[in-house]
């Protein structure tokens, strides 16, 4: 098993990233068997597809790495690095650019959402972003790619690119990776709008819980989270038209490591006046130790940078054979 996944180092990690992805990374690392390999990276090249402040990108990369360490990524067992330090990602992305089709990229919902009506004004990078993402996983022959639901389409594209490249060049070079969206890794929605995903780019900080939030901020954001006036139902079906209520039940289930139905079995009939404080207590119990560990890690940024440097060295070694094989396949190596 080769597990590969990435996250953009754009500001703080939030609860959606944690419950939707990072916790699965840690679980996969912790259950890895001899011969398996886990690679996790900061997608700093992907961050360039939006306007960046250079000093912030560098600082965010270290902070995000420290956050991953605080969440339980163990550099003795997983390879942790930043994408820019492994040139094979960009080099393979260029080769795959000959395989991916414009029509495929045009169908990407993230592209459509981010570009909106102003497609002509977007960076080329934002459009070809999924090709780099395909290279990220194909260069390591990833078998499993743990991601949140919103990244599934990009991973399906990576499979299409792998299959077409293999077909076009008549070889079995790339492994078609599986997007691994665990049932325990739900899509977490904004606390202000149950139909929008919790996101770093939401202008309202009240819409998300950041992993650096203090206990009071966590409690306050959950207390003020948008809900409705109905008591909680007995079954999931009862949440069908209650996006905000469903989101809070989903968050509670994910934090408690149980299912939304099991949460409802416990809380059916309760109003949010009772439900929210209990949810806040649970969120604080899970998140406070991570926040404290993050503060400890951030006190020694050089140590975090050293972890990334060592990870990149190992990643370069792991990426080299596939890049070379791809160069040979297309005729670049004589």
Residues within the interface to ligand TYM (CB under 6 A): 5-8, 16-17, 20-21, 43, 46, 133, 136-137, 145, 147-148, 150-151, 187-188, 197-198
Name which of 48 and 231 has its Cβ closer to ligand TYM: 48
Name which of 187 and 310 has its Cβ closer to ligand TYM: 187
Catalytic residues: 114, 197, 200
Cβ neighbours of residue 221 closer than 8 Å, sequence gap 6 or more? 191, 206, 208, 209, 213
Return d(Cα 243, Cα 279) in angstroms, integer: 17
Return d(Cα 300, Cα 192) in angstroms, integer: 35
Smallest distance, Å, CB 268 to ligand TYM?
25
Name which of 125 and 231 has its Cβ closer to ligand TYM: 125
Cβ neighbours of residue 14 closer than 8 Å, sequence gap 6 or more? 198, 199, 200, 208, 209, 210, 211
Smallest distance, Å, CB 274 to ligand TYM?
26
Smallest distance, Å, CB 175 to ligand TYM?
14
Smallest distance, Å, CB 267 to ligand TYM?
22
Query: Which tokens hold the place of 331?
Result: 């005729």
Q: Bridge partners of 3? A: 38, 144
Name which of 8 and 61 has its Cβ closer to ligand TYM: 8
Return d(Cα 23, Cα 2) in angstroms, integer: 17
Question: In the complex, which residue's CB is closest to ligand TYM?
Answer: 20
Listed residue (149, 113, 263, 286) closest to 209, CA to CA:
286
């Amino acid at each position: 098993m080769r597990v590969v996944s990435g996250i953009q180092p754009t500001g703080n990690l939030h609860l959606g990233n944690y419950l939707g992805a990072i916790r699965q990374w840690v679980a996969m690392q912790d259950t890895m068997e001899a011969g398996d390999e886990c690679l996790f990276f900061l997608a700093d090249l992907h961050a360039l597809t939006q306007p960046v402040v250079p000093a912030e990108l560098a600082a965010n990369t270290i902070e995000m790495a420290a956050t991953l360490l605080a969440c339980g990524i163990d550099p003795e067992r997983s390879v942790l690095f930043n994408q820019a330090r492994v040139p094979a990602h960009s080099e393979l992305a260029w080769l795959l650019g000959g395989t991916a089709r414009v029509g495929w990229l045009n169908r990407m919902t993230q592209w459509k959402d981010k570009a909106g009506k102003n497609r002509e004004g977007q960076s080329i990078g934002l459009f070809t972003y999924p090709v780099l993402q395909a290279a990220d996983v194909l260069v390591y022959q990833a078998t499993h790619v743990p991601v949140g639901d919103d990244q599934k389409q990009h991973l399906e594209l990576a499979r299409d690119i792998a299959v077409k490249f293999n077909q076009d060049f008549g070889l079995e070079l790339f492994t078609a990776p599986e997007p691994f969206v665990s049932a325990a890794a739900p899509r977490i929605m904004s606390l202000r709008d149950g139909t929008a995903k919790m996101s770093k780019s939401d202008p309202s900080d009240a819409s998300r819980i950041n992993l650096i939030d203090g206990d009071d901020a966590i409690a306050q954001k959950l207390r003020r989270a948008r809900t409705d006036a109905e008591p909680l139902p007995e079954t999931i079906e009862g949440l069908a038209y209650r996006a905000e209520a469903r989101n809070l039940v989903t968050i509670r289930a994910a934090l408690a490591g149980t299912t939304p139905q099991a949460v409802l079995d416990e809380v059916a009939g309760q109003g949010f006046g009772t439900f929210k404080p209990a949810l806040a207590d649970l969120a604080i119990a899970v998140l406070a130790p991570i926040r404290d560990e993050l503060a400890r890690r951030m006190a020694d940024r050089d140590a975090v940078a050293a972890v990334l440097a060592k990870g990149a060295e190992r990643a370069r070694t792991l990426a080299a054979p596939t890049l070379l094989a791809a160069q040979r396949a297309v005729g670049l190596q004589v």
